[in-house]
Amino acid sequence: MATRSEPGHPWYQLLDALLARRVELVAEITSRMRHRLSVYQELAPETFERHVAMAMECTVRLARVDPPGLSEWQTRVLEEVGDSQARLGVPVDQMLLAWRIGADVLLECGTEEAGRLGLDDQQLLAFVRRTLASSDVGMISTARAHRRAELEQDREAQDRRASFVRAVLFGTGDLAELRARAKAYGLDPGRPYLAIRARPAADGEWRGVERAVGLAGSARSGRGLSVLVDGDLAGFQLDPPGDAAPGRAGVGPAVPLDRLAESFRLATRALNTMHAFGLAGTRDLAALGLRPAVANDADVGAALRRRYLEPLAESGSAAEIIATLRAYLAASSHVETAAEQLHIHSNTLRYRLARFEELAGVSLRDPVVPFEVWWALQHASIDT
C-alpha cells in the first residue's frame, strides 16, 4: 500500500522546495533538452514547456508515494504528454532521453536543497531512489501513451493510403487532389502503371501473392501501392508483375494514373476469367483469348450448349464424344494427333466425330461449327 511522508519531515520539505522552484527547473530542463536533442528545437515553446512542466510536477509529486503509483489525474497528465509527443513527431527514444535529462536536473537541484535543509546522506539517498523510481513510472506511462498514438497514426495513415488507392482504381475523387496525393506517396502521375488484381490459391494467403507479383515492396520504393478489395489484392505498379502461381493475378494495360480505373476493370475481368476456368499464374486479357467473353456471356454459352451438347445425351456416350471433341479441337482439328492423345485408333476418333455430327445435325467442316462447339465446351468447363 502506498504511504506518504508526514508533513514537516525534511523529505517533505525537499519536495516542496523543488516545486517552489518549478519555473526555474522547467527553464533549465527545456534548455538542456533543446541543446542535446535537436527534435525539441523544432517544437513550439509554449507546448514544449507546458509538457515539461506537467512531467516535472508529476515526477516530484509521485516521489511522495512509496511505492510510486499514479493517481487518476497523474495518469491523464502523463498520457497527454506521451500522446502529444507522438503526434508532434517526437520519436519515443528521444522522449525517454528527455525524461532522463529532467531527472538529472531534479537530482542536481535536490542535492543542493538537501544540503541547505541539512538532510543526511541516508535521506539524500532515499530522495535519489524515490525520484528515479517516480521518473521511471512516468517514463513508462508516457511511452505507453506514445505507442498507442503511434499505432493510431499508423492506422490513420494506412486508411488514408487505402482510400487513395481505391479512389485511383475505381475512378472516384478529384483528379487534381489524387495527383497531389500521388506525389506525396512518391508516385509520378505521368508515368504508366499496370493495374493488378490478385487472388491466392485456396490454401494460400494474400501476402504470398503480394510478394509473387511484386506489390510487397512497391510502396517502400515509390513504384506502386496496393490494398485489399473484397478479399483480393488490388493495386498498381510500374514493373511487370511476377508469376502469381499457384495463385492467380489479372493485369490491365499500362496507363497513366488518371486512367487506372479502366486498367483495373480489365485486370478484374482477367482475374475473374482465370478463376472461372481454374487457371493459375499471371495473365492479361490478351493471354486469355476468347475465354473472358465465354465467362462473361452466359446467355450465349447456354444457347450453344443446348445446340451442340444436349443432343449427345441420347447417345449414351456423351462423355466419350465430348472428350473426343475437346482433344480434336485442341489438336487444331488434326485427327491423328487427337487420336494419339486419346490413345485410340484414328478411325475410332473419326467414328465418334461422325456420331457427333449425326446427333447434333451439323458438319464440322462448316468453319463456324468448330468455333461454336469450342465455345460450348469452354462454357461447360466453367460449371465443372
Q: Which of 185, 380, 145 is nearest to 276 (CA)?
A: 380
User: Domain 297-382, what architecture?
Assistant: Orthogonal Bundle (1.10)
For residue 233, the cross-strand partners are: 198, 228
Locus of grid cell 460450348: 376
CATH 1.10.490.10 correct for 3-154? yes
- Spatial distance between the Cα atoms of 29 and 109, rounded to a whole number of angstroms: 11
- Spatial CA neighbour of 196 closest among 172, 168, 222, 176: 168
Q: Which of 291, 306, 308 has its CA nearest to residue 364?
A: 308
Query: Look-up: residue for cell 494495360?
Result: 253
Residue type, 36: R
In angstroms, the CA 271 to CA 262 distance is: 14
Q: Which of 139, 133, 114 is nearest to 63 (CA)?
A: 133
| Cβ pair 183, 177 in contact under 8 A | no
Which run of H or E residues covers position 253? strand 248-255
> Which residue ranges does the chain devote to CATH 1.10.10.2840?
297-382
Beta-carbon contacts of 257 under 8 Å, excluding residues fewer than 6 positions away, are: 168, 178, 179, 182, 187, 189, 190, 191, 193, 236
How far is 129 from 96, CA to CA, in rounded Å? 18
Q: For the chain, where do the domains classified as CATH 1.10.490.10 start and end?
A: 3-154
pLDDT tens digits for the chain (384 residues)?
Answer: 334 444 445 677 888 889 999 999 999 999 999 999 998 888 888 888 999 999 999 999 888 887 878 888 889 989 999 999 998 889 999 999 999 999 999 999 999 988 888 888 888 888 899 899 999 999 999 999 999 999 999 889 889 999 999 999 999 988 888 888 898 888 988 899 999 999 999 888 888 999 999 998 777 777 899 999 998 999 999 999 999 999 999 999 999 998 999 999 999 999 999 999 999 999 999 999 999 999 999 999 999 999 999 999 888 899 999 999 999 999 999 999 999 999 999 999 999 999 999 999 999 999 999 999 999 999 998 865
